[in-house]
């Protein structure tokens, strides 16, 4: 803790399955720039909670899936795609779970799989 009472983060956020995002960028070239910027932004993030995340990504949505756990949904390229991740703020880890088109996202089957 600093004298101001804020926690100092000794490490940056770690992205689990980052290669999945690189594969998505190759499969969906339109999303490649967004995903590259997202990776850089997340690696440098110091998010302690959802409010911190929303300061950077105000359109991100928290969604409860069938397992009862919460995931975060990012709108990519003006809602053309969706990136779904699980964020463990206490461990500073982000798990990439799904990346697909808005049409695939809208079917909602992914909620039952997570």
pLDDT recorded at residue 9: 45
In a domain, 58, yes or no: yes
The per-residue pLDDT for 3 is: 46
Whether 93 maps to a domain, the answer reads: yes
pLDDT score, position 46: 87
Asked whether residue 6 is assigned to any structural domain, the reply reads no
Q: What's the predicted TM-score (pTM) here?
A: 0.86
Measured torsion, CA atoms of residues 58, 60, 63, 69, in degrees rounded to the nearest 10 = -100
- 5: in domain: no
Place of tokens 């998010």: 47
| Residue 104 covered by a domain | yes
9 phi and psi, to 5 degrees? -90, 115
Structural domain including 40 reads 14-113
Task: Count structural domains, the chain.
Answer: 1
- Report pLDDT for 6: 57
User: CATH number for the domain including 47?
Assistant: 3.30.2310
Query: Is residue 1 domain-resident?
Result: no
Buried (b) or exposed (e) across 86-103, using 16+ Cβ within 10 A?
Answer: bbeeeebebebbbbbeee
Per-residue pLDDT at 1 = 45
Question: What is the structure's pLDDT at 14?
Answer: 86
Q: Is residue 88 part of a domain?
A: yes
Close Cβ partners of 30 (under 8 Å, ≥ 6 residues apart): 77, 80, 81
**For the chain (length 114 residues), average pLDDT per consecutive 10?**
50 83 95 95 92 96 95 94 95 94 93 92
């Amino acid at each position: 803790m600093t004298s101001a009472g804020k926690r100092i983060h000794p490490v940056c956020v770690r992205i689990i399955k980052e290669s999945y995002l690189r594969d998505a960028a190759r499969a969906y070239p339109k999303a490649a720039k967004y995903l590259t910027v997202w990776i850089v932004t997340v690696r440098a993030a110091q998010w302690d909670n959802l409010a911190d995340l929303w300061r950077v990504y105000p359109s991100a949505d928290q969604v409860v899936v069938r397992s009862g756990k919460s995931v975060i949904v990012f709108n990519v390229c003006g809602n053309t795609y969706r990136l779904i991740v699980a964020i463990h703020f206490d461990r500073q880890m982000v798990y990439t779970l799904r990346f697909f088109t808005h049409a695939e996202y809208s079917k909602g089957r992914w909620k039952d799989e997570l």
